[in-house]
Amino acid sequence: MKSIIIKCLAVLFLVATSFGRLFSQETKMTLNFTVEDSVKKCNVSVTANDTAVKEVEVKLYVKRLYSLLPIGKAAVTDETGNATFDFPNDIPADLNGKLLVIAKVEDPAAEVSKEVNWGVPRAEIAPLERSLAASREKAPYYLMIVSNLIIIGIWGTLLFVVWEVYRKRKPNYSK
């Protein structure tokens, strides 16, 4: 019984170390974009020592401002070491529609990223639009007119009052 357990442990050790050896060698990932029948597809290929790595879980992401947005569910590589994802058509992008797509394998950690022009370009904000949220130079006209009228009215009255008092001083008071 004891010898059977030892043999099983030895087999498990050999299997584990062989997998370990496989991934300790440099894992390479490549990312390709294709369009088939108007469907955008993203193909990830995983190799180690020029050998296809099969049955490895691959996850696909798009880079956002602070974090990564997962695209679809994780896919497993086939016998040729390829995993294919359908890419959505509605991901917002920068002004040029460019997206940074990232594919990742978790164990061992490996990733590849590539830019693709598949995003929905962000609409450019009209540069001359005046609003409460706009910059100093783009303040709404109504706000500028009303605030300046109030400021001029109050400061004008204040200066008028000071001038009135100064005007009626004794002519030679400073002498």
- Kindly list the residues in this chain that would bind another protein in the complex (CB under 8 A): 132-136, 139-140, 143-144, 147, 151, 154-155, 157-158, 160-162, 164-174
Nearest C-alpha neighbor of 30 from the set 12, 4, 8, 52? 52
Q: How far is the CB of 166 from another protein (least distance, A)?
A: 7
Residue 8 φ then ψ, to 5°: -60, -45
Q: How far is the CB of 70 from another protein (least distance, A)?
A: 22
Nearer to another protein, 41 or 130 (CB): 130
The whole-angstrom separation of Cα 157 and Cα 11 is: 97
Beta strand 110-116 with 68-70 is unpaired
Q: How far is the CB of 92 from another protein (least distance, A)?
A: 22
Q: How far is the CB of 142 from another protein (least distance, A)?
A: 11
Residue 90 φ then ψ, to 5°: -115, 30
The whole-angstrom separation of Cα 126 and Cα 87 is: 30
Nearer to another protein, 38 or 171 (CB): 171
Q: How far is the CB of 150 from another protein (least distance, A)?
A: 9
Nearer to another protein, 34 or 148 (CB): 148
What is residue 157's three-state secondary structure?
helix
Helices (H), the chain: 2-24, 141-167
Nearer to another protein, 19 or 155 (CB): 155
Residue 145 φ then ψ, to 5°: -65, -50
- Long-range contacts formed by 136-139: CB under 8 A, 24+ apart: none
Nearer to another protein, 95 or 133 (CB): 133
